[in-house]
Amino acid sequence: MTVLSQLTDALRTGRIEVVDLTAPLSSRTPILELPPQFGQTQRFELAEISRYDERGPAWYWNNFRSGEHTGTHFDAPNHWVTGRDGHDVAEVPVERLIRPVVVLDVAERCAADPDFLLEVDDVRAWEREHGPLPDGGWLIYRTGWDARASGQEEFLNADGTGPHTPGMSVECARWLAEESPVVGIGVETVGTDAGAAHSFDPPFPCHAYLLGSGKYGLTQLRNAGRLPATGAVLVAGPLPIVTGSGAPARVLALVER
Ligand code: MN
């Protein structure tokens, strides 16, 4: 048996399960909101062209409009000024879109503290239990935030002082970008950075360090709780938008059962 026939056989028999990490994409999908002085991303919107009617008697189809960073999506290096000379989303080498993935689960701590920030020591503790982070693989930082993904307000969790969603410290972002072997970070929140990261130094350190290091982000993931801590494979399929800074993506995980 070839490796690929073993894979397709395991998929057919269920020995490998495909877990969908992607949020459904609709006009209700939560989106990032920036302070009013900045440009805003837009919701996903469908516009019907025809639906088996006089506009097209035998066919149904739509146009759509969407931000690149709407719903489950891929952050390319050129999304951030620190990575402006890096790859756009269409230039990301495709072999990097199928990589090992590990899951660091701090959902309980985030339930107790929505402003929870992951520290390097937390990653080190995870490595003592599960082994080193995968070389060229993804780290999914599981916060449990996907449980809030059905509503914009609950998802952004903002009050007069801004959004309150978990993320990571400046040093943890720098360490993951510059010292760890991962190719990118996946999160369940609206962006890879904490809700309060606008006031960090540097602001939005996950974006600044990861994308500045030629690494990637994946956001608004769901079902990460169905993945093992180690041993799964992540398949990320961002649309190859030429010159784009990111794109909505179908993100799947292969899990051995
Ligand atoms: Mn983004």
Task: Give a yes or no: residue 244 inside a domain.
Answer: yes
Tell how far CA 168 is from the center of its chain: 14
Buried b (16+ CB within 10 A) or exposed e, 125-146: ebeeeeeebbeebbbbbbbbbb
pLDDT at 52: 98
191 within domain boundaries: yes
Predicted confidence band of residue 98 (pLDDT cuts 50, 70, 90):
very high
- Distance of CA 80 from the midpoint of ligand 1 (Å): 10
Q: Measure 219 CA to ligand 1 centroid, in angstroms.
A: 7
**Cα(112) to centroid(ligand 1), Å:** 26
Task: Answer whether residue 51 is part of any domain.
Answer: no
In a domain, 30, yes or no: yes
Is 60 inside a domain boundary? Answer: no
Q: What's the mean per-residue pLDDT of the chain? A: 97
Q: What Rg, from alpha-carbon coordinates, does the chain have?
A: 19
* Predicted pLDDT at 164: 96
Print the domain residue range for 115. 3-39+68-256
Tell me if 45 is assigned to some domain: no
Q: 3-14, pLDDT tens digit by residue?
A: 999 999 999 999
Q: 78-87, 126-135, 147-156: lowest mean pLDDT where?
A: 147-156
Q: Looking at residue 235, what is its pLDDT?
A: 98
Handedness of CA 45, 241, 40, 221 (dihedral sign): positive
Active-site position among 69, 73, 79, 207: 79
pLDDT at 166: 98
Q: How many CB atoms are closer than 10 A to CB 213?
A: 19
> What is the average per-residue pLDDT within 83-108?
98
Confidence of residue 192 (pLDDT cuts 50, 70, 90): very high
Q: How far is the CA of 194 from the centre of ligand 1 (A)?
A: 13
> pLDDT > 70: what percent of the chain?
100
Q: Please tell me the predicted confidence (pLDDT) of residue 237.
A: 98
Inter-residue contact 78 to 84 (CB < 8 Å): yes
Is residue 233, in this structure, part of any structural domain at all? yes
Mean pLDDT along residues 183-194 = 98
CATH number for position 227: 3.50.30.50
User: What is the structure's pLDDT at 148?
Assistant: 95
207 is catalytic: no
Both tokens of 185, joined, read: 């970070």
Backbone angles phi, psi at 51, to 5 degrees: -145, 75
245 falls within a domain: yes
Helix 170-178 / helix 120-130 crossing angle, nearest 10 deg: 50
Please state the domain count of the chain. 1
